[in-house]
A and B are shown apart, each in its own frame.
Chain A
């Protein structure tokens, strides 16, 4: 019904809009990035040695690990949830749908606070956890929970979008031909989700790597235990180790750029298949 409108060359006043857009995006995004790059290039050996120090590598490894765990957990939850929310109708579906979106709206500090109130020593589950010997706040599990929380919606939303656009016709056809539910899922649904999975994975990893507020409050940024790449930058700024801070910031920005290349597929809109 709809096709991509033909592109035209801008005329007259339209060029002003183009110029304004270029200036806005350039000033807001490009110039600060260049400033950071310049600061790093000014002391490349210093940055290199700072980034290969044990605590920097540990922080980076922790962030990558948290991103990986979030990807796996929320990947499974995303596929499951997308199917459940788009293909099933049940009491409470709307509520579940709304809950899934909440992590997007909740401030990271509140996320950290909420989990601290739940799992901290004085939290609701504090005594229970202590008697079980389980440490969540100020320890690795806390970071995992916080990161999984903030990355929950991304995979699910991308997949739900795709599933809604696809409709159930292919799956219905497979069922009438005798395929079991599992076969239908594995051979029909999943391949169709491939692009959504890539997109969702990219957004999940990006968000996980960038998480700061929640891990700061719940984890405590303890060097050697709960120091992620972002809290590393925070600590480095405190210690006046601007080389470490800028270096790690550039690493994260570069990772962001790499993820962007994967995100670029979004520009090719899924409307036309």
Chain B
């Protein structure tokens, strides 16, 4: 009779609204539900192309109808949301460390890097989006540190894209392809120069692109596929591929704890397997991504003079330690940039 008891009863009633039962011995119901937690950029790739294609393929194979629950937010934020309780069956994130975050929380118990293509489903490169016709003549990383340039890049704490951006700048500098010496101090100086020009630091790559479209900034450091999707939607912009940039590799993993609780393991594993098929890879390609399957790779995306991977920088563990740890190179560069204001 007390309101708090009624509230509790209401809550318990409300929480019993998940789709599939978890009893393994009974046949799965005719309608299944798959929950996807992804980063911001492939919204359209998954939402309009891959998920419907998978639903059709699954129906053809098993006769079951699949519905989806989707969440798109900055890769780091998404990883944390999953750790905090968002019960995604599959995580499609921007970079390896974010899947590792979920693994470290004990929610992923299989070796996800042992899957097809080492768990990677799509690729891209870090580019610089500019206004149509590139009025400020931005050619490479060093131009972003000029006094007359305003830059957009997201927040590394929440956005996977932001981390790729910083890794790209750092890699280009330390490989001697950014027009300066290759020592750490020079790389930091370049990073500081660019960060000092940042106008808005959004939570995710998509937010950053949307901000760019509203007229803020002269350049936005982002995924190549993010720019391509924007242009497909009629937004006026061009992009510049720096001489040296990093190959972005996006991983996907089934989240064991959640699929076992939901009874959706077969569905989730089927989905991840589907992502490696030519059909899914073609869908990625249509949305500006560079697929992992060379056979499906479109030939009209620009070649990169010096394309390096995170492994060339020593792997994610080393990069996170050097760049993104507390008081790492990124923090120091940000502080230097702030001090210069």
Contacts and interface: CB of A to CB of B under 8 A. Distances in A.
Check whether chain A touches chain B (CB < 8 angstroms).
yes
Interface stretch (B8-16, B270-278, B324-332): B8-16
21 contacts: A76-B3, A80-B3, A116-B85, A120-B85, A121-B85, A122-B83, A135-B18, A136-B15, A138-B81, A138-B85, A139-B15, A141-B10, A141-B11, A144-B10, A220-B71, A222-B69, A222-B71, A222-B86, A225-B69, A237-B210, A239-B43
Contact of B43 (A76, A134, A140, A238): A238
B206 A116 contact: no
Contact of A224 (B68, B83, B230): B68
Nearest to B204: A238
A238 B40 contact: yes
Given A73-B3, A223-B71, A238 B86 contact: no
A140 B14 contact: yes
A77 B3 CA distance: 7
Interface in B30-80: 35, 40, 43-44, 67-73
A238 B73 CA distance: 9
The interface size bin for chain B is 35 or more
A237 B43 CA distance: 12
Interface of B: 3, 6-7, 10-12, 14-15, 17-18, 35, 40, 43-44, 67-73, 81, 83-87, 204, 206-207, 210, 213, 230, 233, 235
Nearest to A121: B85
A238 B210 CA distance: 7
Q: Which of A116, A148, A220 has the most CB of B within 10 A?
A: A220
A122 B84 contact: yes
A81 to B, nearest CB: 10
Contacts of B85: 116, 119-122, 126, 135, 137-138
Interface residues of A, number: 34
A238 B207 contact: yes
Contacts of B206: 238-239
Given A138-B87, A220-B86, A238-B204, 12 more contacts: A119-B85, A134-B15, A135-B85, A137-B84, A138-B81, A138-B84, A139-B15, A141-B15, A222-B70, A238-B210, A239-B206, A240-B213
Contacts of A116: 84-85
Contacts of B18: 135
Interface in A161-186: none
A67 interface: no
B10 A134 contact: no
A221 B11 contact: no
B7 to A, nearest CB: 6
B66 to A, nearest CB: 12
